[in-house]
Amino acid sequence: MVTWSEVVLTALGLGALFAALMTVVLSLTWLERKLLARIQRRAGPSVVGPHGLLQPVADAIKLLTKEDVRPADAPRFLFWFAPVMVVLPSYMLWVIIPFGDGLLVRAMELGLIYLIALSVLEVVGLLLAGWGSASKYSLLGGFRAAAQLVSYEIPIIIVIIAVAVFVQSLDLRDVVGGHATTIAGRTMSYAGQGGVPLALVMPLGLVVLFIAGLAELGRTPFDIHHAESEVVGGPFVEYSGAHWAVFYLAEYMNTFFIATLTVLLFFGGWSWPSPASVLGDSAPPLAVNALGAAWLMAKVYAVAGVIFWFRGTYPRLRIDQLMAFGWQVLIPLSFANLILVATVLYYGWPTWTLPLISVPLLAVVARVAFRRYADPRKMKTVRMFTRSTRADGETVLAPQAGES
């Protein structure tokens, strides 16, 4: 039976969450532009407000007051609904994310399943956008996006399952909260309570989750579906004004979400280093929670920074290469991770055997990929020729001494 007070509290929580999300997401847009600009030796936003901090506000005002154009051929309801379909699941994901011990809108025992289920819904939104824009480019982009997102859901799901198996719980609070679990008579404590973040235990899972998360977001090097030099915006190309603002928001909310997920699952979230251990056991719970939340946000921003760093560095993969990478590399790796975790737990091996096996495995995979795809000795197919005199006195171009 749901009481009024629960409803009011939940509504307040949702409102607070919304406000906080908007602020963080806007600040993320600023961070991305500033970081990218610095990487590219530019200034970035620097006019609106100190260091351009009010730039997102200016962007928001511009987007909301811009004319909302709809192509004449575009079906009205689909065109209007597509952004909603994309942003609604993005927002609903946040309901169960804990920002501190007990700092979450709604607790769910099946939290991880909930996350997985909702993140898949966005694919529908993208397809709607692609189809509902009545444009060949956006159609192409929508198809690419759908294929990409659906394919890269799988490694994420498998990694989440591996984490759940390790923690023996699907509840996000347990994953982060560092409540020690007991398996086969042995206590596994890994985060909080003096444990280590899962990144050190399951590095393979971290790598797979991060890369697959990048692809989920549609971020470089996996941003082919809105690649500017080809389909110019992909499924979003016909949107402008407020509709576009919603897509933009959804993209950054998702970025924030992937970063938060990474931190919560692998970097110990708000519980590592444990705020209680820093402030002392007698610190007021408010201070403990605040510190925990601050840790969390700092780590999330760091991860988001890395995501933006990737954007400024890498070219983008072609769609078939992207799919090949997802299906032929990431999915087997995620399964390997899951099998490793299960094996370690089943045989009751100590926790440190997990990184002991996964790190060399990662190293081997990386090395093989490098040798096959990027080794300069193999890849450098350009020889140097110089002017030389042939036997008959002719001046010709011949390979330089030392080259074949």
Nearer to other proteins, 65 or 381 (CB): 381
Considering the complex, what minimum distance in angstroms separates the CB of residue 365 from other proteins? 13
Angle at 336 between CA 335 and CA 339, to 5 degrees: 85
Considering the complex, what minimum distance in angstroms separates the CB of residue 385 from other proteins? 5
Residue 364, amino acid? V
Question: How many residues does this entry show for the chain?
Answer: 404
Half-sphere exposure for 221 (CA within 13 Å, toward CB): 13
Angle at 225 between CA 224 and CA 226, to 5 degrees: 90
Nearer to other proteins, 4 or 373 (CB): 373
Backbone φ, ψ for residue 118 (5° rounding):
-70, -35
Considering the complex, what minimum distance in angstroms separates the CB of residue 248 from other proteins? 18
| Residue 306, number of CB atoms within 10 A of its CB | 14
For residues 322 and 351, give the distance between their C-alpha atoms in angstroms, rounded to a whole number. 33
Nearer to other proteins, 301 or 309 (CB): 309
In the complex, the residues that contact other proteins under the rule CB under 8 A are: 36, 39-42, 136-137, 140, 220-221, 223-224, 227-232, 311-321, 369-370, 373-374, 376, 379-387, 394-400
CA nearest to 121, candidates 243, 216, 223:
216
Considering the complex, what minimum distance in angstroms separates the CB of residue 232 from other proteins? 6
Nearer to other proteins, 5 or 395 (CB): 395
For residues 154 and 156, give the distance between their C-alpha atoms in angstroms, rounded to a whole number. 5
Would you tell me the crossing angle of helices 203-217 and 353-373 to the nearest 10 degrees? 50
Can you give 139-200 as a three-state secondary structure string? HHHHHHHHHHHHHHHHHHHHHHHHHHHHHCCCCHHHHHHCCCEEECCEEECCCCCCCCCHHH
Considering the complex, what minimum distance in angstroms separates the CB of residue 71 from other proteins? 16
- The token pair at 386 is 């110089």
Nearer to other proteins, 72 or 374 (CB): 374
Residue 202, amino acid? M
Nearer to other proteins, 220 or 289 (CB): 220
Nearer to other proteins, 23 or 400 (CB): 400
- The residues pairing with 399 across neighbouring beta strands, listed in sequence order, are 385
Find the distance separating the first CA and the last CA of the chain, reported in whole Å.
82
Nearer to other proteins, 108 or 323 (CB): 323
CA nearest to 117, candidates 149, 145, 89:
89
Nearer to other proteins, 178 or 221 (CB): 221
- The SS3 of residue 399 is strand
Q: Are 30 and 56 in contact (CB under 8 A)?
A: yes
Considering the complex, what minimum distance in angstroms separates the CB of residue 319 from other proteins? 6
Kindly give, in sequence order, each residue whose CB lies less than 8 Å from that of residue 228, ignoring residues fewer than 6 positions away.
none
Nearer to other proteins, 232 or 356 (CB): 232
Considering the complex, what minimum distance in angstroms separates the CB of residue 227 from other proteins? 6
Considering the complex, what minimum distance in angstroms separates the CB of residue 106 from other proteins? 39
Considering the complex, what minimum distance in angstroms separates the CB of residue 380 from other proteins? 7
Would you tell me the crossing angle of helices 136-167 and 241-266 to the nearest 10 degrees? 20
Considering the complex, what minimum distance in angstroms separates the CB of residue 379 from other proteins? 6
Helices marked H in 168-227 = 172-177, 198-201, 203-217
